[in-house]
Amino acid sequence: MALLAIALGMTIATAMLAVANDVGDKIDEDLRRNGGNLLVTPIDDTLDVSIGGVNLKPASEGNYINESDLPKMRGTFWGHNIKGFVPYLNAPEEIRVNGHSANAELIGTYFAQALQYGRESFTTGARSVNGWWKVDGEWPEDYATWPEHGAPAVLAGITLARETGLRIGDEVEVDGKKLQISGIVNTGGAEDHAIVAPLHIAQEILGKPGKVRRVIVSALTKPEDAFGRRDPTKMTPADRDRWYCSPYANSIALQISEALPNVRVEQIRQVEQTQGKVLSRISGMMLLLTIAALLAAALAVSAAMAATILERRSEVGLMKSLGAANATVASLFLTEAGFLALAGGMIGYLAGVLLAHRIGQTVFGSPIDVQPVVLALIILASLIVTFAGSAGPVRKAMRFDPAMVLRGDA
C-alpha cells in the first residue's frame, strides 16, 4: 500500500512538473498561431484611419519601412526567438469586378516568403504567423516579380466577395492590372473587405517598390513581471544587462528598434497579457495538484508504516530487550522506507512520463518534453515524502517498552 501510494503521488508530481516546464512554450506557440505580439511601424508614421474595414489613408501619406531591412531582426540577441513576421503594405483602391466598380483596400503581404539572413535561410508570412486565417481555395505564391504569363493569384476577403459576387477563378482589375482570385480569405479583420496580394505585386501596383507600412512580429517571449516592465533607461548597468538578456517583449522590441532604422516597436498587449494570465492560473492549479498528491502520499505512507510497526511490535520489543538501540530500530524501518521510496519514485516517474505525453497530445496536440532533471526531483521528492510519512510511526516504535510489549500489554 505504501509503494502504491508513493507511485501514485510521484505519477501526479512527474506529470505536473513536466507540463509546468513545457506549458509556457506550448501556450506561447498556440498564442503565436493567433497572431503576432509586436507591431513595427515607421517612427514618424501618421495615424491610420479606417471606416468599415477600409483604410482611408492615401498611399503617399506617411513613412515606410525598407523591406530589405526586415531580415535584420534575425540578427538581434533574441533573433532565434522571433518565430516569424508579416509585413503589410495597404492602400484604398478602386477595383473592377465583372464590369462593375467597387471600393476596396489592396493589402500586400507575405504568404510563405523564403528569406535569408547571412547563412540562415527561413520562411515567414501569414501562413505560419496568422494561423487564424481561413482560406477557401488556394494560397497565392509570393512572386518576386510580376509573372510574364497570366495574372498573379490573390485572395479576396469573404465580405468583399459576398458584396461583389467574386468567386474563385474570377479576375479583378486594380489600377489597370489584372489579378486572379485563387481563394477566399476569412480573417474577421480588415482583410475580409480587401484584396490580399503578394507583397511585391502590391508594391508594383501602388508604386512603392521595396517598401512596407507595418510589420507584425511573432516572438517567443517571457511573461512580463515587475522587473520586465521597468524602464531600462533608469536601470543600473547590471540591471539593464539582465533585462536586455531576458526575452521580455519589451527587450526584444528594443533590440528590433536598434536593428531597424527609424522604426517604433510596440507590444500588442492582448497577446502578452493573455499569455501571462493563462500561465499564472495553470501554474497555480498544477502547484495545488502536486502539493495535494504529495500530502496524500505522505499520509498513506504514514498509515501503512504505522500498521507495519504495530504488526511488528513484538519483534521490536525482542530486539530492544536484547540490547538494540533506538537508532538501530529506526534504521531498519527507514531503510525499508528508503527502498520503497526509490521503487515508488521510479514507477511514478515512468507512469508520469506517459501521463504527461497523454496530456500534451490531448490538450496541445503534441507530446510534452520531459527533462532528465525531473527524474532527480521526483526521486528526491519521493524520499522526502516517505521519510516524512514514516517519521511519526518510527518515533513511536522507538518508545516501545520491551517488557510491556513482550507481555502483550502494548
Residue closest to 322 by CA, chosen among 405, 390, 391: 405
All 3 cell numbers of residue 373? 532533471
Q: In one letter, which amino acid is 102?
A: A
Find all residues with CB under 8 Å of 213, minimum gap 6, and list them.
Answer: 41, 42, 45, 62, 64, 65, 88, 89, 90
- Provide the whole-model pTM: 0.64
Residue-level pLDDT at 59: 45
**8 Å CB contact between 95 and 177:** no
- What is 234-274 written as a DSSP string? GS-HHHHHHHHTS-BHHHHHHHHHHHSTTEEEEE-HHHHHH
The x, y and z cell numbers of residue 387, run together, are 521519510
Secondary-structure percent of the chain, ordered helix, strand, coil, rounded to 5 = 50, 20, 25
How far apart CA 247 and CA 77 sit, in angstroms, is 9
- Whether 76 and 259 have beta carbons less than 8 Å apart is answered as yes
Query: Who's near 182: CB < 8 A, 6+ residues apart?
Result: 137, 138, 139, 140, 153, 154, 155, 168
**The predicted structure's pLDDT at residue 60:** 44
Cβ neighbours of residue 132 under 8 Å, at least 6 residues apart?
33, 34, 35, 187, 188
Which pLDDT belongs to residue 48?
55
User: What does R_g of the chain's alpha carbons equal in angstroms?
Assistant: 32
> 184: how many CB neighbours lie within 10 A of its CB?
21
> Distance between CA 342 and CA 350 in Å, rounded?
12
Question: Which has the closest alpha carbon to 36: 267, 332, 213, 305?
Answer: 267
Distance CA 68, CA 179 (A): 25
Q: Give me the DSSP letters along 79-114.
A: GGGEEEEEEEEEEEEEEEETTEEEEEEEEEE-SSEE
What is the spatial distance between Cα 328 and Cα 332, in angstroms, rounded to a whole number?
A: 6
Question: Residue 274 has what pLDDT?
Answer: 56
CB 10 within 8 A of CB 301: no
Written as tens digits, the pLDDT of the chain (410 aa) is 888 888 888 998 888 888 877 766 666 555 555 567 899 999 875 455 555 544 545 544 558 999 999 999 999 999 998 989 999 999 998 888 877 888 899 999 999 999 999 889 999 999 988 888 999 999 999 988 888 778 899 999 999 999 998 999 999 999 889 999 999 999 988 899 999 999 999 999 999 999 999 999 998 887 777 888 888 889 999 999 999 999 888 899 999 999 998 899 988 765 555 555 666 677 778 888 888 888 888 888 888 888 877 777 777 777 777 777 777 777 887 888 888 889 999 999 999 989 888 888 887 667 777 888 889 989 999 999 888 888 887 777 766 666 665 665 55
| Residues in CB range of 345: below 8 A, 6 or more apart | 6, 10, 378, 379, 381, 382, 383
